[in-house]
Amino acid sequence: MRKLFYLFVLITSNSIVAQEKKEPKPQIVEVSCGQCKFGMTEKKGCDLAVRIDGKSYFVEGTKIDDHGDAHAHDGFCEAIRKAEVVGEIRGNRFVVSKFKLLPAEEK
pLDDT at 51: 98
- The answer to whether residue 107 is domain-embedded is no
**Does some domain include residue 85?**
yes
Model pTM? Answer: 0.76
Q: Residues 65-94: what's their mean pLDDT? A: 95
Domain assignment present for 7: no
DSSP, residue by residue, 21-79: TPPPPPEEEEEEETTTTS---SSSS--EEEEETTEEEEEESS-GGGGS-TTSTTSTTT-
Domain-embedded: residue 12: no
What are 3-59's pLDDT values in tens digits? 655 556 566 665 554 455 666 799 999 999 999 999 999 999 999 999 999 999 999
Q: How many domains are contained in the chain?
A: 1
